[in-house]
Amino acid sequence: MEEYHPGEPFAENLLPPAPAPDLANAAWRDYGNRAGGFRLVEALAGAGHRPAVLLNTDAYATAPGLIAAARAAGAEFVGHGTANSRSLAAMSDAEERACLAEVSAAIAREEGAPPGGWSSPWLAQREGTVANLARAGYRYLLDLRLDDQPAWLRSGAARLLAIPY
């Protein structure tokens, strides 16, 4: 579940960007949280599967119904930043650590436990991201396509499981 904020530097556009307000691209980005996500949760439940939700935690405020539907379906919530319009690659080390802590705290507060997994907005990291994730209590990372099976990453003493998705 991704959330984008107008005016922030990172946005995913289906169509070439238009002058503000870019309603066509904004509507495309919002479709999943407004309609498509509910259909996916229902389809997975109908097939006997629990969803794994890559969650921008700002969606707690903007898509509470979809989050409730995913929760009711037994979803695992994976940390995915606060909003997809904010990239870890654009943050300082201190900002990244604060972001990871904020996301963990929000998911723990809402779901009763912190997330075990992480997927970076835009799949973008910094040099210290793996170590920061491990220090923040994350156990696995979905960003890397380094193998067709899980592989351990090491950054100093930190260890994190890379799981391709």
Quote the pLDDT of residue 11. Answer: 65
Quote the pLDDT of residue 53. Answer: 97
pLDDT values of the chain reduced to their tens digit, one per residue, 165 residues: 888 776 666 666 666 666 777 777 778 778 889 999 999 999 999 999 999 999 999 999 999 999 999 999 999 999 999 998 889 999 999 999 999 999 999 999 999 999 999 999 989 999 999 999 999 999 999 999 888 999 999 888 888 999 987
Are 103 and 111 in contact, with CB atoms under 8 Å apart? no
- Please give the biggest Cα pair distance in the chain: 48
CA separation, residue 18 to residues 9, 26, 74, 84 (Å): 15, 10, 39, 19
Print burial letters for 86-103: b (CB count within 10 Å at least 16), e (below 16).
bbbeebeeeebbebbeeb
Quote the pLDDT of residue 2. Answer: 82
pTM, full prediction? 0.88
Quote the pLDDT of residue 165. Answer: 79
Quote the pLDDT of residue 140. Answer: 97
Parallel, antiparallel, or unpaired: how do β-strands 140-141 and 158-162 relate? parallel
Phi first, then psi: give them for residue 55, nearest 5 degrees. -115, 115
Are 2 and 56 in contact, with CB atoms under 8 Å apart? yes
Q: Which two tokens stand for residue 103?
A: 């996301």
Adjacent-strand bridge partners of 117: 140
Quote the pLDDT of residue 9. Answer: 64
Quote the pLDDT of residue 12. Answer: 63
| Among 142, 147, 69, residue whose Cα is nearest residue 160 | 142
Report the C-alpha gap between 33 and 30 in whole angstroms. Answer: 6
Q: Kindly report the length of the chain.
A: 165
Report the C-alpha gap between 113 and 16 in whole angstroms. Answer: 40
State the architecture of 23-162 in CATH terms: Alpha-Beta Barrel (3.20)
